[in-house]
Amino acid sequence: MPLTSTGDIVGPARAEGRGVGAFNVVQMEHAEAIVAGAEHAALPVVLQISENTVRYHGSLVPIGLAALALARAASVPVAVHLDHAEARPLVREAVELGFTSVMFDASRLPYEENVAATRAVTAYCHRAGVWVEAELGEVGGKDGVHAPGTRTDPDEARAFAEATAVDALAVAVGNSHAMRTRDAVLDFGLVTRLRDSLDIPLVLHGSSGVCDADLVRAVAAGMTKVNISTHLNTLFTRTVRDRLEESPGVVDPRRYLGAAREAVAAEVARLLGVLAAR
């Protein structure tokens, strides 16, 4: 199947009240597992590569081209997305490689500087036909994320979206990155107010910390794109550890990485079903 635009996956899902799974790729096995899970579920998916992962590999090219190749060979719609990019040269590189979307994260900057930087990136990406996600509010670590000052304000979100012309907005509603427990407390009322204030899809970062029932509630309240990373990494690592403990003499990485890939594929298929439920 041809590479699919992120907008062509997220737009119809938003119109139909469905969620879209967006899963982070750290290495080749992750990308293979995510695509396999999507094919098993017969649902579209977004492969995400973060700036941190690019730094780990030393370059976007190897892991980016691998993800693009897997997306093009998939039997279901697969988009390839640059996640949490703070460096504009990396955005340009992703666009030139053929990524269908980027998430430009200038949320650390003061509001006016965030607007200016995001507007410039959006203008560049739109000229290339690339969909753009941004972030407003503080989706930080677990400590302090539930403080009222970290939440995204609906009026400010509407003004930000209009000023930057972004295609989707990641918002802070009690979610937190890198959670290893699924007990985040989301403000579903705020999600609905944000949905009603904006004409673009909402993105939930830090969804590893959200239980299945609350993922369903979040989508019903107005979330569309749902980012999950730590949850899958935890499963991947646990499976590798279990295999090595069971067979301490194994030296072929395919023996344990393959098992981890299968476990992640099964969980991706399950989560896509959870998010698509209406």
Residues with catalytic annotation? 83
The answer to whether 151 and 173 have CB atoms below 8 angstroms apart is yes
Gap between the Cα atoms of 147 and 140, Å rounded:
11
Q: Which ranges constitute the DSSP H helices of 50-187?
A: 51-57, 61-73, 88-97, 111-127, 154-164
Can you tell me the distance from the alpha carbon of 133 to that of 16, in angstroms, rounded to the nearest whole number? 20
Measure Cα distances from 222 to 69, 169, 268 in Å. 32, 12, 21
**Is 225:10 a contact under the CB 8 Å cutoff?**
yes
Q: What angle do CA 227, 215, 235 make, to 5 degrees?
A: 60
List all residues 6 or more positions away from 99 whose beta carbon is below 8 Å from its beta carbon: 64, 68, 80, 81, 82, 130
SS3 string of 120-150? HHHHHHHHCCCEEEEEECCCCCCCCCCCHHH
For 248, which DSSP code?
T
**Is residue 237 within a helix (H) or strand (E), and if so which, with residue range?**
helix 230-246
CA-based torsion, 122, 126, 129, 133: positive or negative: positive
Report strand pairing: 168-171 vs 131-136. Answer: parallel
> How many residues would you count in the chain?
278
